[in-house]
Amino acid sequence: MRLRPTRAGLTGAATYTALLLVWMAAARPSPLLLLWFAPLVLMEAFLPGPANQVTLARAYLAAPALVYARDPGGLGLLAVTVALAGVTDLADGTLARRFGGPSTVGGALDPVVDGIFFGAVGLGLWLGAAYPGWLALVVVARYALPALVGAAMLAAGRRPQLRHTLFGQVSTALIAILLGGVALLRGLGQDPAPVVRAGELVVPVATLLTFANLAWAARAKG
């Protein structure tokens, strides 16, 4: 089947391109970020439905998140970026239900962009010496491992069940709160150590519970 640009995709691509130009003019980040944004704009043009356009916002926000997370002076803006990502996570589900219900594309896209965004935040905080490196890797693994397993299942001719699980949603909420909390406290000049220590306990436990929940859901379907 031939892929064609969609009306929602073209509208979303034009909107995000305009926002990106404004942000790059104001923040003056590395021009190398264009190597990240250009494929996103191109891919977005082919995505159906408004919900998927909102979901993809978190992939765009990953770049500002990485920039602000590395800079001790940018952690207040990082907290705002995490909050914006949280708003898109709530809004895309609402839009999906409003315009025909969740889709296979949306179900696959949502965890991938979550992993990209939170992985960028964790990596940036680690590079900025605000977060332990091993914990940033746990955050990346929380999203990368299910995505890799899903890809392997598709390659084997099986169709994974693309839906949210209870612990998956809980772990994403906790990761957002803890990463955003570290950024906010550092941005306000406060000691984020208690939040980091909480993250060292909560994030690995929530990740293990997410993996167990996904394995149980896959077994129940099989």
Q: Does domain 7-221 have CATH number 1.10.10.350?
A: no
pLDDT of 159 > 80? The answer is no
DSSP assignment of 122-174, as one string?
A: HHHHHHTTSS-HHHHHHHHHHHHHHHHHHHHHHHTT--------HHHHHHHHH
Q: Residue 40 corresponds to which tokens in the numbers above? A: 């996103």
Q: What confidence tens digit (pLDDT) does each residue in 109-150 have?
A: 888 888 889 889 989 989 988 888 898 889 888 888 877 766
Write the DSSP symbol of residue 33.
G
- Confidence (pLDDT) at 154: 54
| pLDDT tens digits, 31-88 | 999 999 999 999 999 988 888 899 999 999 999 999 999 988 888 899 889 889 989 9
Domain ranges of the chain: 7-221
Cβ atoms of 50 and 95 within 8 Å: the answer is yes
15 — pLDDT class (breaks 50, 70, 90): very high
For residue 205, pLDDT over 50 is answered with yes
Residue showing tokens 């220590």: 197
pLDDT category at 1 given cuts 50, 70, 90 is very low
